[in-house]
Structure 1
Amino acid sequence: MPPYPAPPGPPGWGGWGGWTPPPRPGVIPLAPLRLGDILGGAFSTIGRHWKQLLGMALAAYGMALVAIAAAIAIAYLALADRLDRTLDSDVAPGWDSVAPLVFSFGAVYLFGLFTMLAANALIYASCPVVLQDAVLGHRSTFGAVWRHSVRRVRSVLGTVLLTALIVAVPLLLLGVAFIASVITLITMSMNAGGYGWLILLGFLGALATGPLAVWLWVKFCLAPAAAVIEGQGPVAALSRSSQLVRGDWWRIFGISLLAYAMAGVASYLIQLPLSFLNILGPSFTDDASSGGAALTIVITSLVFGLFAVLVGQVLTAAFPQLVVSLLYIDQRIRKENLGPALAQAASPPPAAY
């Protein structure tokens, strides 16, 4: 009597006499992924390719900080005289004096916001690039990751901007409610009119648009990976993400939320020791015997603080995006039987005779 048949494997895999485990050339098995496979694959990718990921973060955020600092310096040099006159004036400055300052530094703020979005887009583009090699078990270099990421950063930035516009609606309404609350508290003692209707409008608007924004954000969360791996444009990548998420929204939402929560906790734990250093820094500075020693302590504290912020930013930006990119690969394995194609791409080329 023949033995009982083994349980069937995932689509595209089988073997003589029953089920055989799927190949695993890299950080994940080339089969439908479980939660442990996805999280383990993200951690393994960081462990194997941390130099490339950290190098991309240093390059992206370093260039962003230099650009923002240059914009602030240019704005300050251009308006230094006007700013000094405004601050030194004994009378309240009029709108004609304040308007150039408000518009100039508002433009600097918007420039900084866009610059940080571009830096995040470069990180988002690098994660699928690194993950492609990690899944196939191939080695990667910083130069190759940089070149491929830069080529696709415009498309990824487009998907990030379009998704940010969706999420910005409830955040903007919450901001309106918060500002109206602050103005109401300030003017309460002056018997001025309140802004209760604006507060109510902001909170109710945020409650009404928040769930829709979350639903659309999850629906389009796979777009950066599609833009990089498939070479899609921003709109096509959003459509592709919507197609892959369809039918698995809750699963993708839960795993993505867990990834962001884990990254946030890890970032906080990394930056926590530096927070104690910043608290103890002034006391050390007060006891310093010379100004040079005090300056050294302050600079060292700032350097370690910036390093902790950078590492935390890498975790909060890279780890969730690696998880989301693995969800993209998982959805393609489940819906398009991508596993055999990945196994073929991972296998070494035949030897020449």
Structure 2
Amino acid sequence: MSYPEPGKPPEPWQQPQWGQQPQWGGQQAGWPPQQPWGGAPDPRWPSGGGPYPHPAYIAPPKPGIIPLRPLLFGEILDGSFQTIRRNAAAMFGSALIFQVISTGLVGVISMMTLGLAGRVPYMDPQSMDQLLGPLLGIVMAALGATVLSAFLGSVLQGVMVVPVSRSVLNRRTGFKQMWMLTGSRIWPLLGVAALLTLGSLLAAAAFVVLSVLLVTAVGPAGLVLVFLLGLGVLVAFVWIGMRLLVAPAVVVVEEAGVYESLLRSWRLTKNNWWRIFGIVLVISLMIGVISYIVQIPLSVAAGGIGSVVAPHGGEEAFTSTSIILTVVSLLVTALIGAVGFAYQSSANALIYFDLRMRHDGLDVELLRLLESGADADGIPGRPAPRSSRGASWPAGNGSWPGTPPAPGEPTA
């Protein structure tokens, strides 16, 4: 078989006369011209110079904040920011209410601590035992505030999944609409938040009891065992926390019960623990660093104001100045915390959607929902009603009931 010389166009194909055989060894019909090494591709070849045409790459659709495919780390970061920007009232407003409640509790405890600290220099050393009761009350109040904040945070994390899920299909969500869509799932969401908070509280209580027993039994050397025990409890807490991270989102989006949502989160996060942990850790560090940088000028200004306004003002001037600075610091902390909480909640919701697109093919369902435009006021990702599942196939026409009919087979 002979080939054309490089750069020379092929000879036209000659149709053999009737009764004659084509001459083998000549130029074959349809054979593409050879491309010389280093030369430009032949313009007759499609897709850049190959004998076999192939379709060009088509990126997955991105109707909203993320593309409809499994997500990358940068897409989760950008999608979280876009969600807050598009649904500011729902995301930032809810987070700000939560932060005001949490910060208000912290403020009350701070005022109690400042009042107690202001009494210490003026008390008789023999009456210091009277501080034990107020000090114990402050500790219990701080513990109660921590538990309440953790509980409300878990509930709000599930509620804020709604604007994230709707933003995936470029649907905006208002503050009232977000809470109305979550209204039917509020009781299971409260149950999941209560179980998560109670589990954390029991783990902390068990650690304290075991630490006291170890120090009592072993003595000062038991502090080493307490340190190792604390590391083990921390590792177990983080590991279980990552496995149950998306349980509030499952309650709201998939309409699952309390125990079903915990099991569902455990299955979704299987084989993805390190990836989820890395994303959550990086986002938490980012929020912490930004919050610290913003609060540095406030701390410096607070020290300067305290030294200028009341350098020798006595107890009353010191207390009033401290209260004013504490209130201002708490307000700034609430604003920064609201932004950080909204961003973290959005990232957790996008982690949930990423896991579902990897395990359940949710991206295909979202694409169908986008094309049909159905359920425009609902939550994308919720399971379809049982009455509508499989309704497109006539029952009993295929080889099995409920299967599509074979080609050419009559339908009912």
TM-score by length of 2: 0.62
The 3-state SS of whatever aligns with 2:160 is helix
Structure 2 letter corresponding to 1:119 = L
Q: Residue 69 of structure 2 aligns to a residue in which SS?
A: coil
| Residue aligning to 1:78 | none
Selected match of 1:311 from 332, 335, 338:
335
Q: Which residue of 2 aligns with 1:9?
A: none
Structure 2 unaligned spans of 5+: 1-31, 33-44, 49-53, 113-118, 312-317, 375-412
Separation in 2 of the partners of 1:230 and 1:92? 56
Deviation, structure 1 residue 111: 3.6
Name whichever of 128-137 and 166-175 sits farther off: 166-175
For residue 290 of structure 1, what is the aligned residue in structure 2?
none
2:283 corresponds to which residue? 259
The residue aligned with 1:244 is: 268
Match of 1:273 among 285, 288, 297: 297
Contact 2:150 2:197 in 1 (8 A): no
Matches of 2:334 and 2:102, distance apart in 1: 12
Aligned counterparts of 1:299 and 1:72: Cα–Cα separation in 2: 9
Check conservation: 1:32, 1:334, Cα contact below 8 A: yes
Residues 272-304 of structure 1 show CA distances to partners (whole Å, capped at 9, x for unaligned) of 2222221222134249xxxxxx99987774454
1:200 is aligned to 224
Alignment of 1:162-177 (within 5 A): 162-164=195-197
Secondary structure of the structure 2 residue equivalent to 1:196: coil
Structure 1 residues 4 and 174: CA distance shift in structure 2, 3 A? farther
Task: State which drifts further: 207-216 or 319-328.
Answer: 207-216
Return the letter of the residue paired with 1:139.
R
Which sits farther off after the overlay, 331-340 or 317-326? 317-326
Equivalent residue number for residue 136 of structure 1: 169
Deviations 1:244-279 (A, max 9, x none): 111222211211211111121122222222222212
- More displaced, 30-39 or 46-55? 46-55
Per-residue displacement from partner, 1:79-102 (whole Å, max 9, x unpaired)?
xxxx9xxx78955759xx967x67
Q: Mean alpha-carbon deviation: is it higher for 42-51 or for 203-212?
A: 203-212
Provide the residue aligned with 1:187 in structure 2: none
Unpaired runs of at least 5, structure 1: 6-15, 76-82, 185-192, 288-293
Is residue 61–residue 67 contact of structure 2 (8 Å, CA) maintained in 1?
yes
Q: Which residue does 2:70 correspond to in 1?
A: 32
Deviates more, 1:244-253 or 1:201-210: 201-210
Distance 2:87 2:184 in 1: 20
Cα distance in 2 for partners of 1:119, 1:64 equals: 9
1:125 aligns with 2:163: no
1:282 aligns with 2:315: no
Instruction: Provide the residue aligned with 1:13 in structure 2.
Output: none
- 2:247 and 2:265 in contact (8 A); partners too: yes
Aligned CA distance change for structure 1 residues 67 and 143 (closer, same or farther; 3 Å): farther
2:94 to 24, 47, 56: 56
> Does the 8 Å contact 1:126/1:146 carry over to 2?
yes
Greater gyration radius:
2
Task: Provide the C-alpha distance between the structure 1 equivalents of 2:323 and 2:368, rounded to a whole number of angstroms.
Answer: 52
The answer on 1:21 being equivalent to 2:59 is yes
248, 254, 267: which one aligns with 1:230: 254
Q: For residues 71 and 91 of structure 1, what CA distance do their matches in structure 2 show?
A: 23
Question: Can you list the C-alpha shifts for 1:163-209, whole angstroms capped at 9, x where unaligned?
Answer: 4555557756776799899x99xxxxxxxx99324413321222333
Does the C-alpha gap of structure 1 residues 65 and 298 become closer, same or farther in structure 2, counting only changes over 3 Å?
Answer: closer
Deviations 1:219-258 (A, max 9, x none): 1111121122122233221111111111222211211211
2:107 and 2:306 map into 1 onto residues whose CA distance is 26
Q: CA deviation at 1:325?
A: 1.2
Distance 1:226 1:46, change over 3 A: same
Kept in 1: contact 2:84–2:92 (CA 8 A): no
Q: Return the TM-score normalized by structure 1.
A: 0.71
- Paired with 2:233 and 2:105, the residues of 1 have a C-alpha distance of 34
Alpha-carbon contact 2:155-2:193 (below 8 Å) kept: no
Output the CA distance in 1 between the equivalents of 2:296 and 2:75: 29
SS of 1:263 mapped into structure 2: helix
- CA shift, 1:321, in A, is 2.3
Q: Which amino acid aligns with 1:196?
A: P
Provide the aligned length of Structure 1 versus Structure 2: 315
Confirm or deny: 8 A CA contact 1:267 1:311 kept in the other structure: no
Shift of 1:154: 4.5
Is 1:46 the counterpart of 2:79 in the alignment? no
Q: 1:146 aligns with which of 179, 186, 189?
A: 179
Instruction: Measure how far apart 1:27 and its partner are.
Output: 0.6
Give the drift of 1:343: 2.6
- By percentage of residues, which structure has more helix? 1
**TM-superposed deviation, 1:115:** 2.5
Contact 1:68/1:111, CA 8 A, preserved across alignment: no
In structure 2, what is the Cα distance between the partners aligned to 1:169 and 1:203? 19
The 8 Å contact of residues 96 and 335 in structure 2, kept in 1 or not, is answered as no
